[in-house]
Amino acid sequence: MLKKMTDEEILYDDGRIKIVYQPGRDGHGLIIGNQFLFLDRGILEELARTSSRGLIPKFNSIDSSFGYIFEREGLSYPTVGLAIAQARIKELENELRDI
């Protein structure tokens, strides 16, 4: 069984997009600009597995403000999707390291 990370940890940060794991809330924080969006447990993994074409409806089903936030910050759905995939990869690497 994979061991969960126990402390809040930055999974991705490129200066425009930051993704953190928040074990106390059992989910992830997605920070874009000055906007914090909480992703419930399992959402990061689901988004990381979604094709580029499927990202718009997935993000909009989570929170309809995603499109506005991405546009305001000059980000595309595929760019944010790639950041989420990279965060999920780091999360899996951390879980395997902690076995």
| Total structural domains within the chain | 1
Residue 2 within a domain: no
Domain limits for position 76? 9-97
Q: Do the domain assignments include residue 50?
A: yes
pLDDT tens, residue by residue, 8-66: 899 999 999 999 999 888 899 999 988 999 999 899 999 999 998 899 999 999 888 88
pTM summary value? 0.87
Burial of 98 (0-12, 13-18, 19+ CB in 10 A): exposed
**3-state SS class at 96:** helix
CB 20 within 8 A of CB 29: yes
Q: Is residue 4 part of a domain?
A: no
φ and ψ at 74, to 5 degrees? 70, 30
